[in-house]
Chain A
Amino acid sequence: MTHIRRRDLLGVCGGAWLAGSARGAAAARVSVVRCPSYSGDVLAAVGGLFDQLGGVDRLAAGKTVAIKIDMSGSVRARNGFTPAWFTHWTHPAVIAAVAHHLSKAGAKRIRILESSQENDHPLEDNFLLGGWDPDQILKAAPNVEMENTGAMGGAHSYARLNVAGGGLIYPGFDFNHSYAECDVMVSLAKMKQSPDTGVALTMKNMLNAAPGTIYGDAAGFDGPSAKPFGALSMFRIGNRQPSSGSPPERDPESSRDPGYRLPRVNVDILRARPVHLAIVDGVETQTELEAPAEEGSALAPAHVRPGVLMAGFSPVSTDAIAMQAMGFDPMARRGQDPFLTCDNTLELAEAAGLGVRDPGKIEVAGARVDTIRFPFRGRR
């Protein structure tokens, strides 16, 4: 294993050193723009989104930027007939626009990342399987690359990311090298609900960065498997430990309740691999679930069009404003909607020093939240 000490520093500082005073001052600012459809001028919308943050030049200039997108679920599954880009995956037009603007801001190299839970194909192939031409993204700027981080990828080993402060569940993780070999981490998520964690936004997006070869249902026991397959059930229910050689749980006797575990594992991942720029694609999405409903599911996701994009330097603050827009209270406790069966990840993240969740303490730049509010509950 490669032990990246720079990551320890990142974890301790929460990444605040990276963008200097610009990031520090604007950490609790969240930018909001309207973007009614993906066929409109998404490039301009994302440009406006970044401008309202005060620009991303100081964040990206001369840096290697990793963008964790959301392609959760099977690459061959759709919610009804609707392509995944419109319901539960980050839309390629948004990914391309973000890459373009980060490149324009001086990024030296841009890596688009996602961890497949079903194959070790090049990420480009998974775009094609999903029905999209990856060239739109690869040609959005010079030096754009893709990597499927569900396995070891192009490296010879996994990168050890230690959790600052020791971790709530795990003291560290072994991730694909791309999560260590980046100066700037961007979480580009879809605006979604989650039965497990209430909402699935920029923080939850990072949970799915974990490689299935070590943390998936078909992970090896003696060491990582060659290929990823299956959900990250060990995060959810703690049914087993990661592959041998990767850090096990601190306390295997702790609660196995998904509502307890997932928010804490998520916070551990965010402390091990801090996010510097959080972006929410809420142009079109779906309600209820993070992926298409399985046969016989009582939940029926509806395809909806909130028509909004959001960004902030803090994933906690960005998710808090996104929750408000979705009609939820980021200050809600366990048992209150949408955290009916789980702890509030934002609360745990705030306690861990990852950002502010109280909307009253967050500066919203651009469209006011009350004008873009789009309640997710009750949509059919």
Chain B
Amino acid sequence: MPELIPFRWPAEWKDPSRLELLKGAPINCLVGATAPPIPQGELPFIRLDDKAATANIALRDGVWPAVQAATKKSGAAAGPTGDAWVDSNAWVIRLAHVMEPGKPVWVSYEAPVDNAGLGPAAFVKPVMEAEAFGGRWVMALNKTFREGLENRSDAAMSAWRRMMDAHRFFAARRAWREWRPAAVLGVISTFAGEGEAMSGEFLNLAPRRHLAYRAMLAAEAAKATFDGLKAIVYLENEAPKGELRDRLIAFAKSGGLLIGPKGIADVAGGKRVAEHTVASLGAGRVAIPLQPWDDPFTLVAQTHVLVGHREDVVRVWNASSTDTFPQLDAAGGKMVVHLVPYASAKTRSVTLGIGQRGRMARILRLEGETSARLMKGPLGIEVEIGDLENYAAVEVEL
């Protein structure tokens, strides 16, 4: 059965001729609150509020992916640096894969109502953002876009075609969905309860710093693989007990860095680094916060320093407000790095650094694919990506 590609049918479209829009398009499923008052042919309809109908889908609420001015949020929400606030669905999608493995992940949201002037071209990014992180946007139009399609305006039709091309682009590279996150940091949490906001925001902010992570549920982490990880952060207020604690301690003793709340390991002494006490344990280290964690922005930055930028899987230059997601194929011979910029303007002259050697690379965009010149840098390889609008991927043979 093909993967479903959903489209929220506009309630205003009651004329069957509107279905012409879907001819040749990869859309194969309509969604909404009520079924369209038109014959749908073979197109299935799914009510998103019908739990039985969506039982096999990891359905999440999403946000319109964009940079917001920091002033729209409180100072605390925007982070202490005054950096631009980014609304991203990356962490929601990646966490949904962990919480409900094996299910397709859909994120559902509509364009912000206070931005009615949002042009059709802006609707390409939501498609690409969701697909880049292994999810799918439940495509929905705003009034401007819908009317543009009704009138078959060039801008609307062009944007629509690009949205469909975006789906085809990722369908042609479906293998990426099976690739694993290339990570140096394991993030373990229940991702629920008291610590949900902290752990969720940690996952939200880590890719903006290009801190490559792999999330694991606390209930399953004792049996999970820690292969390839240099560090693990246990994001709960209370230290784990039993088998998981034993495993985490073993991870540290074998050379890893374990970051967790007081009591996560019995260590004494240590030195102060990034507001944590870092003590040796076997061949590795344990970092315990001086004060209980309370700010995810600060914690992500501290964690990155504790892990060390030397361990960075990727580095990116000239691409602020951009999330990265590096993945490795099963054999570990290929890496793909997805880059999603959230700024509305083009991000210029972007360079990607990868912290290991590579043999060849290609840059993939919606507009086409080009081979990339690999430059040897002091810390691995660098690839000149160029301008970044909605999305680019760099696939490297290691």
Contact of B309 among A118, A128, A136, A292 (CB under 8 A): A128
Q: Are A131 and B82 in contact (CB under 8 A)?
A: no
Q: Are B351 and A229 in contact (CB under 8 A)?
A: no
- A182 close to B (CB within 8 Å): no
Q: Are A78 and B349 in contact (CB under 8 A)?
A: yes
- B81 close to A (CB within 8 Å): yes
Complex Cα distance, B348 from A136, in Å, reads 30
- B201 close to A (CB within 8 Å): no
- Chain A's closest residue to B320 (CB) is A76
- A230 close to B (CB within 8 Å): yes
Q: Are A218 and B378 in contact (CB under 8 A)?
A: no
Complex Cα distance, B312 from A132, in Å, reads 12
Complex Cα distance, B309 from A128, in Å, reads 6
Interface SS of chain B: helix, strand, loop or mixed? mixed
Q: A131-B382, A132-B379, A229-B81 are in contact. Are A76 and B317 (CB under 8 A)?
A: yes
Q: Are A295 and B315 in contact (CB under 8 A)?
A: no
- B341 close to A (CB within 8 Å): no
Q: A131-B377, A133-B379 are in contact. Are A227 and B305 (CB under 8 A)?
A: no
- Chain A's closest residue to B383 (CB) is A81
Considering only residues 58-101 of chain B, those with a C-beta below 8 Å from chain A are 80-82
Contact with A along B273-313 (1 / 0, CB 8 A): 00000000000000000000000000001000100111010
Given the complex, which residues of A lie within 8 Å of B309, measured CB to CB?
121, 125, 128-129
- B144 close to A (CB within 8 Å): no
Contact of A118 among B81, B316, B348 (CB under 8 A): B81
Distance from B290 Cβ to chain A, minimum over Cβ atoms (Å): 13
- A223 close to B (CB within 8 Å): no
- B134 close to A (CB within 8 Å): no
Given the complex, which residues of A lie within 8 Å of B237, measured CB to CB?
none
Given the complex, which residues of A lie within 8 Å of B356, measured CB to CB?
none
Contact with A along B120-132 (1 / 0, CB 8 A): 0000000000000
- B384 close to A (CB within 8 Å): yes
Complex Cα distance, B319 from A218, in Å, reads 22
Complex Cα distance, B351 from A131, in Å, reads 11
- Chain B's closest residue to A79 (CB) is B349
Q: Are B305 and A131 in contact (CB under 8 A)?
A: no
Given the complex, which residues of B lie within 8 Å of A230, measured CB to CB?
82
Contact of A295 among B80, B316, B348, B379 (CB under 8 A): B348
Considering only residues 299-332 of chain A, those with a C-beta below 8 Å from chain B are none
- A61 close to B (CB within 8 Å): no
Distance from A127 Cβ to chain B, minimum over Cβ atoms (Å): 9
- A335 close to B (CB within 8 Å): no
Distance from B231 Cβ to chain A, minimum over Cβ atoms (Å): 15
Complex Cα distance, B349 from A264, in Å, reads 36
Given the complex, which residues of B lie within 8 Å of A76, measured CB to CB?
315-320
Q: Are B301 and A131 in contact (CB under 8 A)?
A: no
Distance from A71 Cβ to chain B, minimum over Cβ atoms (Å): 14
- B36 close to A (CB within 8 Å): no
Q: Are A128 and B349 in contact (CB under 8 A)?
A: no
Complex Cα distance, B318 from A295, in Å, reads 11
Q: Are B384 and A81 in contact (CB under 8 A)?
A: yes
Given A133-B378, A218-B80: 7 more A-B contacts, CB < 8 Å: A74-B320, A76-B318, A78-B351, A118-B81, A131-B378, A227-B81, A295-B348
Taking beta carbons and an 8 Å cutoff, which residues of B are in contact with A?
Answer: 80-82, 301, 305, 308-310, 312, 315-320, 345, 348-349, 351, 353, 377-379, 382, 384
Can you list 16 A-B pairs, Cβ within 8 angstroms, ordered by A?
Answer: A78-B317, A78-B349, A78-B351, A80-B349, A81-B351, A81-B384, A119-B301, A121-B305, A125-B305, A128-B308, A128-B310, A129-B309, A132-B378, A132-B379, A229-B81, A230-B82
Taking beta carbons and an 8 Å cutoff, which residues of A are in contact with B?
Answer: 74, 76-78, 80-81, 83, 118-119, 121-122, 125, 128-129, 131-133, 136, 217-218, 227, 229-230, 292, 295
In the A-B complex, the 7 residue pairs with the smallest Cβ-Cβ separation, listed nearest first, are A128-B309, A125-B309, A133-B378, A229-B81, A78-B317, A81-B384, A80-B349
